[in-house]
Structure 1
Amino acid sequence: MYRPRDTPRDRREREIVDELRDLVGVSERIAHAFAARHGLHPTDLQALIHVMRREVAGEPLTAGELAGLLDVTTGAATGVVDRLERHGHLRRDRGDTDRRKVFLRYGEPGMALAQEFFGPLGRRSGAMMEQFDDAELDTVHRFLSAMRHAFEEHHREL
């Protein structure tokens, strides 16, 4: 029978993994609530998050890039984009330098819905982060980034 080691560090690591698992679970439930409330598929919300993050970074996505991020075919990504565009959550925008390239932009109606729904969570998260100094936030960021990389590596191997 498997018995976990039981040093203080082992217990702390298990607690951290449990907290991460719980955080992901709550995050998924919030995402599903938003998607259900606005007639979206959970993949649609993931797409919106990718579009928003890249747009905020000043590096808008193409549908092909979105397909890669969602790990779906380009045809499936086009279906997602079509649905989101119909609901006003995003829009297609031709590039300034290469008119053949179409970038995905966050739509104003979709932005308003997201701000209304996720605004309280953003305020709660911001208040929580204010309780940590810069060095602590740097450590949390380093930890979460390393965990994400471990998860991505495992996913690639699957």
Structure 2
Amino acid sequence: MDRAERLERLALLSEADATQTAMFQQAAAASYGLGITEMRALSILLRNGPQTAGALTRALHVTSGAVTGIVDRLVRRGLVSRAADPDDRRKVVVTVDLAALAASENAYAGIGEAFQELYAGYTDAELDFLERHLTASVEITARETARLHPRA
């Protein structure tokens, strides 16, 4: 396979991977009774810790009204709580209820185990390459997402 064919194959595989990941995320969200945007908010909160509603608005690229609805739905499901920001009571801070989340079946456990098995077969050099690739991929995707959301 020459370089042009390999690059075309990589482009096709990247698109297929992105599509399959989006489909998995949608199915995982549905298994929790959530929409994909609520699941994205939950993911941001788990990864980055408690966030103000404004920070969620920026991270999700939605309006403040939309974030209010997202947080309301997560509160109703018992997955997050909201409280006044201790430093600025005009702001609301949203926090994941880890105990409530842990009480649910983990929709990500199976895929996490499958990827750990996949990675177990790679050398340290291959894992280093994958880490560099995924880091760059996340940065590129974030930059291109921001480009499509100019108001952010």
Identify the TM-score tier after normalising by the shorter chain: 0.7 to 0.9
Aligned residue pairs total 146
* Matches of 2:65 and 2:110, distance apart in 1: 35
Identity %: 31
Structure 1 residue 94, shift from structure 2 partner:
5.0
- Unaligned runs of at least 5 residues, structure 2: none
Match of 2:103 among 82, 105, 112: 112
Structure with bigger RCO (C-alpha 8 Å, 6+ apart): 2
Which deviations, in whole Å up to 9, do the C-alpha atoms of 1:72-118 show, x marking residues without a partner?
A: 112211110110110012122555x62725432222223432x5221
Moved more, 86-95 or 40-49: 86-95
Flag the 1:37–1:157 CA change in 2: closer, same or farther, 3 A: closer
Match of 2:87 among 77, 98, 108: 98
* Matches of 1:99 and 1:111, distance apart in 2: 30
Structure 1 residue 13, shift from structure 2 partner:
1.9
* Matches of 1:29 and 1:71, distance apart in 2: 20
Match of 1:30 among 18, 24, 31: 24
- Give the alignment's Cα RMSD to 1 decimal: 2.2
- Unaligned runs of at least 5 residues, structure 1: 1-6
Structure 1 residue 137, shift from structure 2 partner:
1.7
* TM-score, length-scaled by structure 1: 0.79
Q: Does 1:45 align with 2:39?
A: yes
- Is the contact made by 1:89 and 1:111 (CA closer than 8 Å) also made in structure 2? no
